Amino acid sequence: MKTIPVKSIKGAYKIVVGKGILARSGSLLSGLFRPGARILVVSQTGISRYARTVAEAITRKGFKVSFHTLPDGERAKSGKELFRLLHVLLAKGFERKDGIVAVGGGVVSDLSGFAASVYLRGIRYVNVATTLLAQVDSSIGGKTGINLPEGKNLMGAFHPPALVISDVGVLDSLPAKELCASLAEVVKYGVIRDARLFRFLERNAGRILEKNAAALERIVTDSACIKAGVVSRDEYETKGERMILNYGHTFGHGIENAAKYRKIVHGEAIGIGMAMAAHLAAEIGICSPEFVRRQLALLKRLGLPVAVDNLKIRSATVLKAMMRDKKKAGGRLRFVLPERIGKVTIKTGISAGELRNILRLFGAR
C-alpha cells in the first residue's frame, strides 16, 4: 500500500493506493471520525458489492453505517439528487461529527462531496475511488459539484476529502472502454510532468490493458502523485499551475460539446485533444515531429481514438464551443502545449484559422 500526502487550506489528507485495500477501510477511517460516528455510504447499483465491503469494514470499527444509492450517469449530478441526499442526512440525524463515504467514480464523489460541503455548512467525506478516472483524477483536489440544465459542473465548491482510498483490485470489473478512456488522463500526466511514466506506458500498454495489478498500481500511484503535487501548490487554480492539468482539454471539451456528449466519452475526447495540441505545438515549432509520432502511437496502443471522423461534427461547432469555454478562463483561449515529454508550456494567440485547419485535419467537417 502506498500513501500520498495532499496539502489543502481546509486540512491535509492522504491518498492510499493498493490492491485489496477496501477491506482495510475501517482502520483507515478510524482516525478521521469519532468512535460511534454515523457514516452514510453513497454508491450506485452496479458497484453495490464494493459499497458493502467498505460498509462491513467500517461497521467492524464501531461506526453506525447506512446506505444511499444514486442513479447511474450524469443525471445523478443534479439539484434533485443533491436535495434527496441532504434530506436523507437530515432524516438520519447526521451531525457535524458524522460523515459520508462516496464509493464510486467521479459522479458519486462530485455529488457526495458537494452535499458534504453544504450540509450543516460542511461535514467530512471520504472518496473510495472505483473507476480509473476517479483514482487518477476526480477523487483528488477537492473540486465537487453538480450540473445545471445550462451546462456541466456549473454549481459546486472546493471541498477536499478527508481521505482517498484507491483499490486497484476493483478495476477488474471496470468495462474496457472506461479503462481505455481514463488512460488518456494518465498519458496526460506523463506528457505534462513525468517522462518515466510515459515510457512505462509505452513499454507496458499490454499489461495495463490486461489489468495487471502491479502495472495499474504503478500508474495510479504516479498519476495521483502528480495531481496531488499540483493541487497542493495551486489548490484554487489561482497561480496558474493547476492549468497544466488541462492539457488536451481545450480541444477535448470542444469536441465533447460539439458531439453533445454522445458517441464519445470524456477520456476519448481528451486523447484526441492531446493529439491535436501536439500537432499544433509541432506546427508552431515548440515540439518535435518525433514527439507527435510517439504520443500518437501510445494513444493508439492504449485503444484510444485519435480522430473525430465518425462523430460527424463540424469544425465551426467545435470552435464555437471552445470560445464559450474561453469565457470561463478570462476571455483568452489558452493552450497547454507540449515542448517535450514531461514538459509543457502555455500559449495564447492561436488564430481561429489555424485551429480550424487542425480540426479538419483530424476529421471534423
Binding stretches for ligand NAD (CB under 6 A): 44, 46-47, 72-74, 77, 104-108, 110, 130-131, 133-134, 137-138, 141, 143, 152-153, 170-171, 173-174, 178
Minimum CB separation from ligand NAD for residue 362, in Å?
Answer: 23
Measured CA to CA, the distance from residue 266 to residue 252 in angstroms comes to: 8
> Would you call 81 a catalytic residue per the annotation?
no
Contact assessment for residue 129 and residue 114, using Cβ atoms and an 8 Å cutoff: no
Return the number of the residue (178 or 202) whose C-beta is nearest ligand NAD.
Answer: 178
- Residue that is written with C-alpha cell 449530478 in the block: 77
What is the SS3 string spanning 323-335?
A: HHHHHHCCCCCCE
Burial grade of 236 (CB within 10 A; 0-12, 13-18, 19 or more): exposed
Minimum distance of ligand NAD from residue 283's CB (angstroms): 29
**Beta-bridge partner residues of 333:** none
Residues 259, 261, 264, 268: is their CA dihedral positive or negative? positive
Catalytic residue chosen out of the listed positions 253, 256, 257, 268: 253
Would you call 68 a catalytic residue per the annotation?
Answer: no
Q: Closer to ligand NAD at the Cβ: 99 or 156?
A: 156
Task: Give the residue with the Cβ less far from ligand NAD, 77 or 218.
Answer: 77
- By C-beta, is 243 or 316 nearer to ligand NAD? 243
Question: Minimum distance from CB of 43 to ligand NAD (Å)?
Answer: 8
Q: Select which of 188, 193, 249, 279 is catalytic.
A: 249
Would residue 324 show up in a list of annotated catalytic residues for this protein?
no
Instruction: Please work out, in degrees rounded to the nearest 5, the angle formed at the alpha carbon of residue 167 by the alpha carbons of 166 and 168.
Output: 110
Residues 77, 193, 242, 279: which is the catalytic one? 242
Give yes or no: 242 in active site.
yes
97 part of the active site: no
| 237 counts as catalytic | yes
Degrees, nearest 5: CA angle 136-71-250: 40
Is there a catalytic annotation at residue 257?
A: no
Task: Point out the catalytic residue in the list 68, 143, 188, 279.
Answer: 143
Residue 185 annotated in active site: yes
For residue 318, give Cα distances in angstroms to 27, 84, 260, 348: 48, 35, 10, 18
Residue tagged active-site, from 77, 188, 227, 279 = 227
Catalytic positions: 121, 143, 185, 227, 237, 242, 246, 249, 253, 266
